[in-house]
Chain A
Amino acid sequence: MFRKLADNWRSVLLALGLHLLIAALLVVGVNFVSESSSRGNRGQKIVKASVVNPDSVNTDMPAMPEAVSPASEPAPSEPEPKPEPEPDKAAEKAAEQDAAEQAAREKAQAEEAAKAEAVREKAEAEKQAEAEARRKAEAQAEKKAEAERQAKAEAQRKAKAEAERKAQEQAAREKAAAEAKRKAEAEAKAEAEAARKKAEAEREAKAEAARKAKAEAERKAKAEAQRKAEAEKKAREEAARKAREEAQRRAAAEQSARESAMREAMQREAAGRQNAANSQALGAYVQAIKDRVESNWLRPPGARNISCKVRVNQLPGGQVTGFRLLGSCGSAAVDRSVEQAIRKSDPLPKAPSDSVFSPEIEFNFEPDQ
């Protein structure tokens, strides 16, 4: 297998590089978001979710040794227990003195009470003393042996502790060296990473600026388009509103006109049905009178600025019963021509019905207007 890898070292390197690149891109991608989110959005309501990568978080932090403390630091060595002090000889002598005194006193007493006792006690005391001495010697020997044994154990323990301490120190030293090495490597790596990150950040900043500029332009364009669209919409709505109002107004006017027409029609009906027909008949009647008088009026040649009114009274048959000039028409000749026109038109056209007949007609001679 290693041989195979060695044989394909290029591929391996490429694969490694690709992995690294992917990792880097991941890191960059995450950072891209977190970076932008960290710069704020100038008050824009753009909600962004940033995915936080623990690695990137770590890398954001100041470079630190990866492991703060080695888990395998040698525990502080416990103090060696001190050997229990041997019972004091002086105390023992004092006790022995006490006992002698006691014995003396008791002896004295016993001598006083019984010299026998004294002997037995003497023997006893001697026996006891002897036992005591023997015990004392034995204890002393035992004590000495014990001390020797303890000293030996202590020495052994101490040696072992020393050896252990030494081994531990050696291990600590080795570990420190490894740690230093690792730390240096980590620092170098962090440094490289920082440089990479810096470059990355710069690139990202550039991209971000470009993106922001683009986004700003787009935002502006969008806002402008929106504004325009709104204005157009508003104009459309205004036009529509006006059209609606106009339509309403017209409808109202039509309604009103219809109502008034209806009212007029009703009033006409109330006033007399033939009045509706009368206006037409009246128009025709007036035109007939006009035609007749005009054809009979011989205007004096050269007479200018003719203007006058004439009141004529007539009978229902059109016969003229009265002629009254309301002021001169401009000259006696014109006055005469006007009167003759009326006289020549006598009888005037007969009214088509009593309803349009008027016993008085006012002629307005205005040929020059």
Chain B
Amino acid sequence: MKKSLARTYVAFTALVGFVLTAAAPAQAALQVDITDSSQSAIPIAIAPFGSDGGQLPVDVAQVASDDLESTGLFDVFERQNMVAKPTRADQVNYENWRTSSVDNLVVGSAAPNGQGGYRITFDLLDVYQGRSIASFQINAGRNELRDAAHTVANLIYEKFVGEKGYFLSRIGYITMAKENGGLRYRLIVSDYDGNNPATVYSSRDPIMSPSWSPDGTKIAYVAFDINRGRSSLRVQDLATGNIREISSREGINGAPTWSPDGRRLAMTLSYRGNPDIYSYDLGTNQLTQLTNNGAIDTEANWSPDGNHIAFTSDRGGKPQVYRMRSDGSQVERLTFEGQSNQRASYSPDGEQIAMVQKSGNGFRIAVMDTQTNNIRIVSEGPLDDGPDFAPNGQAIIYARQGRNNELATVSTDGQTRSRLSQGGEVREPAWGPLGY
């Protein structure tokens, strides 16, 4: 019985197999599983934008190309290698671009918009399909061509990466330069790439810890007054330059950071004797002590959902990163690797924390996964400091010190880096919001 059943089954299977084999070429689609991908950067070329109104004051195509190139995600085809420089889709000989292995081509032009500004139109062409897959139009003021170029880059970036580009964001940082026989400290705000730097505050005394308000309209920072022997924690409106002093208590007034909703500032105060973290309500001016510990607690940073605050404490002996609920409860230590960890900074999605880790290799930027607590090192050291996430979470800016003082960005996987050279010593970069 069993045997005959088995035989029947075999026969049935054979029959089914036969039917499938016979039918496959005629009906069923060939199944191909794609489980891997190329690690290459995205090949793209941005042809010089045409202009109906003479030479453009800003090389829009070049600015956008530099934007994309700086991310490390794009392999931007150099202009000098272009066989042709089309400005409209109908001018493109796709075969030429295919031959050059340029998968993607951007062609566009700018024309006066009749209001003193420009109307910029451009197309994203798929070289292999031989057609435009996206068309865009941007209006820009007379002096906004650079931002328009960044916008072009943002649009392309989002098309390929799936995240908003950060090319319109701004950064704040502190420079220190010798001037007239003395040191001059400046709080600078510039485009993300260091262009258009503007001094927000300048002093012969140290300036520290700039922090962007979530809406990007204000910066909180600490200014010292050596003569008075005091430090001042303040919030400055970038548009008006107005300064609101939050705390100039005795001792430390330091390390301000904004709550995600922009209503509160976390800061470090020592007027009660020991440096502890406080929360300051900007609406009610109410000050709440969050930590009460004999050790130093400082460098608070809010999680994006506002529920937690990461901070640095040496309560365990050496500085390590801890986390507490935003009301100061449930303190837990997060870092155990390296000799010390400090300057925690949450990623925009809250899934990562960037920090400075000290080890035998010096001070390097580390990224911790908040789910697994796994840590990976993303910078080379030996004196890296002040990490802060890009507003789209795809990169981290930090300060490199040593022979060349400079700001650098690194993709969160540590794969690609770029430098934003500045004159003089530069410290404590703070990456502002997307800006659009």
Contact = CB atoms under 8 A, between A and B. Distances in A.
B390 to A, nearest CB: 12
A355 interface: yes
Interface stretch (A102-110, A179-187, A258-266): A258-266
A330 to B, nearest CB: 8
A59 interface: no
B292 to A, nearest CB: 40
B128 A343 contact: yes
B372 interface: no
A70 B128 CA distance: 151
Contact of A259 (B10, B21, B36, B163): B10
A227 interface: no
Nearest to A310: B34
Contacts of A151: none
A367 to B, nearest CB: 5
Nearest to B12: A260
Contacts of A331: 162
A163 B159 CA distance: 171
A366 B10 contact: no
Given A252-B3, A264-B14, A290-B32, 11 more contacts: A257-B10, A260-B10, A271-B22, A298-B38, A302-B161, A332-B162, A336-B133, A346-B128, A358-B29, A362-B30, A369-B35
A118 interface: no
Given A275-B21, A298-B42, A303-B162, A364 B34 contact: yes
Interface string A354-368: 011110111111110
A254 B265 CA distance: 78
A333 B160 contact: yes
Given A293-B34, A294-B37, A367-B37, A300 B11 contact: no
Interface string B123-149: 000101100010000000000000000
B334 interface: no
Interface string A96-117: 0000000000000000000000
A212 interface: no
Contact of A357 (B21, B25, B161): B25
Interface residues of B, number: 45
A315 interface: no
B34 A297 contact: yes
Nearest to A344: B128
A343 B25 contact: no
A268 B22 CA distance: 9
B83 interface: no
Contacts of A275: 21-22
A38 interface: no
B38 A256 contact: no
Given A267-B18, A271-B21, A340-B103, A362 B126 contact: no
A333 B22 CA distance: 39
Given A290-B33, A340-B103, A267 B14 contact: yes
A263 B40 contact: no
Greatest chain B CB density within 10 A among A260, A285, A369 is at A260
B29 A302 contact: no
A340 B128 contact: yes
A4 B393 CA distance: 140
B30 A300 contact: no
Contacts of B411: 301
A294 B10 contact: no
A207 interface: no
A364 B21 contact: no
A158 interface: no
Contacts of B6: 252-253, 256
- Please provide the 7 A-B residue pairs with the shortest distance between their CB atoms, ordered closest to farther: A333-B162, A343-B128, A299-B37, A360-B29, A358-B30, A260-B10, A362-B29
B274 to A, nearest CB: 41
B244 interface: no
Given A300-B160, A336-B159, A361 B18 contact: no
B394 interface: yes
A297 to B, nearest CB: 4
Contact of B73 (A260, A290, A301, A332): A301
A294 B34 CA distance: 6
Interface string B21-64: 11011001111111111101110000000000000000000000
A295 interface: yes
Nearest to A303: B162
Contacts of A257: 10
Contacts of B163: 302
Contacts of A303: 162
Contacts of B31: 286, 361-362, 364
28 contacts: A256-B6, A260-B7, A260-B13, A260-B14, A263-B11, A264-B18, A267-B18, A271-B22, A290-B32, A294-B36, A297-B36, A297-B37, A298-B41, A300-B160, A301-B73, A301-B394, A301-B411, A303-B162, A332-B162, A333-B162, A339-B129, A340-B103, A340-B128, A343-B128, A358-B29, A365-B34, A367-B36, A369-B35
A289 interface: yes
For the side of the interface on A, what is the size category? 35 or more
A46 B11 CA distance: 64
B34 A290 contact: yes
Contacts of A333: 158-162
A293 B10 contact: no
Interface string B373-413: 00000000000000000000110000000000000000101
Nearest to A292: B32
Contact of A366 (B17, B25, B33, B42): B33
Contacts of A273: none
Contacts of A290: 32-34
Nearest to B98: A344
A293 B33 CA distance: 10
Nearest to B104: A340
Contacts of A168: none
A296 interface: yes
B45 to A, nearest CB: 14
Nearest to A260: B10
Contacts of B413: 301
Contacts of B33: 290, 363-364, 366
Interface string B350-389: 0000000000000000000000000000000000000000
Contacts of B35: 294, 366-367, 369
Contacts of B22: 271, 275
Contacts of B42: 298
A311 interface: yes
A58 B209 CA distance: 135
Contacts of B32: 286, 289-290, 293, 361-364
A286 B162 CA distance: 30
Contacts of A340: 103-104, 126, 128-129
A333 B35 CA distance: 18
Contacts of B158: 333
Nearest to A288: B32
A94 B219 CA distance: 207
Contact of A363 (B10, B21, B34, B38): B34
